[in-house]
Amino acid sequence: MFIYTTTVTNWMMVVCIFLNSEDVHAMICQLESAAFQPKSQKEYSYIHEWKGSAYFIKKLFYGLSLTLTCLAPIVGVLQGKTAPLVSYIPPWIHWRVYFWLQALVSVCNATMGATYISFLCTMLIEAIIQVACLKERLQFTEDRRCLVECIERYSEITEFTKRLHHICKIGLSAVIVAGVLNTCTTFSLIVKVKFIELAFLVPYMSSIVAIIYIHCFYGTILATESEDIPYSLFSSKWINTDDSHKRTLLLFMVFSKKQITIKLVGGTLTMSLPLFVQIMRTAYAYFNVLQSVE
């Protein structure tokens, strides 16, 4: 079952990104715009630090995908199976042809999964970078012109995250739901399969948990960074400014108090670490139900 749910969710995420290609193009244009470019050495250091994190995530999930793609046929051959993954083999097709056809489909499926995970994590990290740079710039704001520029940049950031939310709201919600089912199903298999099959099932379950955790982790970082914007405003050089500047700053503080978050499942769930804990608890509860039924 977990193989089919993984395939469906991978295809769903790729289709969601394709259908929202206009939003993707707009987000890339925003990242290339002058408003999103660093203007100080500290902002450059933020970008270097977080870009390294995005590159690590990309290497991690492509590496996991490559590992699982290689392990599936190897484990199948060692067990004497005629297909690397459990499935029905039509009688009119030779098992060797079907074996390598299924292996090729697994490569495509793994590549799609790694691609959409890398893309979404990169976009989340870009949002975090922009919020961190905005906070840095706000602390040195001392005139109305700079403050207006920061307000405009904040509006651009919120528009960027709205587009990202529009891409995530269906596909990533399906990934979360499938993650509960896959984690529960895989764990129930781990406790009763042969030792050699653990070589595939353990890395597979680890990758599913890592996918959910990474998105929830960066969702939490984004919310936490955006929560500090009013404090950065208060730390700016506003004491000796005129009344107009102070009123604008106060309005901006009130307006920016709301956290920037990514909502899932129709806006009922927030992509954050508490959601990850809730997902793991739900998966464990379903696992206990399966064990009691068996």
In this predicted model, what pLDDT tens digit does every residue of 131-161 receive, in sequence order? 988 888 888 887 788 888 888 889 999 999 9
Distance CA 42, CA 131 (A): 13
pLDDT at residue number 43: 82
Q: Based on the structure, what is the number of domains in the chain? A: 1
Distance CA 266, CA 127 (A): 21
What H or E segment, with its residue span, contains residue 264? strand 263-264
pLDDT at residue number 220: 93
For residue 36, tell me if it sits in a domain.
Answer: no
Residue burial 10-33, b: 16+ Cβ < 10 Å; e: rest: bbbbbebbeebeebbeebeebbee
Which residue has 């998966």 as its token pair?
283
Residue 81 has pLDDT above 80, yes or no: no
Question: pLDDT tens digit string along 84-132?
Answer: 665 566 677 776 777 777 777 777 777 877 888 888 888 999 999 999 8
- Give the distance from CA 171 to its chain's centroid: 11
**pTM of the predicted model, to two decimals?**
0.86
Please indicate whether residue 216 or residue 177 has the higher confidence score (pLDDT).
216
For residue 35, tell me if it sits in a domain.
Answer: no
Range of the domain at 256: 2-30+42-289
Distance CA 280, CA 186 (A): 13
For residue 189, tell me if it sits in a domain.
Answer: yes
Residue 221 has pLDDT above 90, yes or no: yes
> Rounded to a whole number, what is the distance in angstroms from the first to the last CA of the chain?
17
For residue 209, tell me if it sits in a domain.
Answer: yes
pLDDT band at 13 (very low <50, low <70, confident <90, very high): confident
**For residues 232-253, average pLDDT:** 84
pLDDT at residue number 232: 87
Residue burial 188-207, b: 16+ Cβ < 10 Å; e: rest: bbeeeeeeebeebbeebbeb
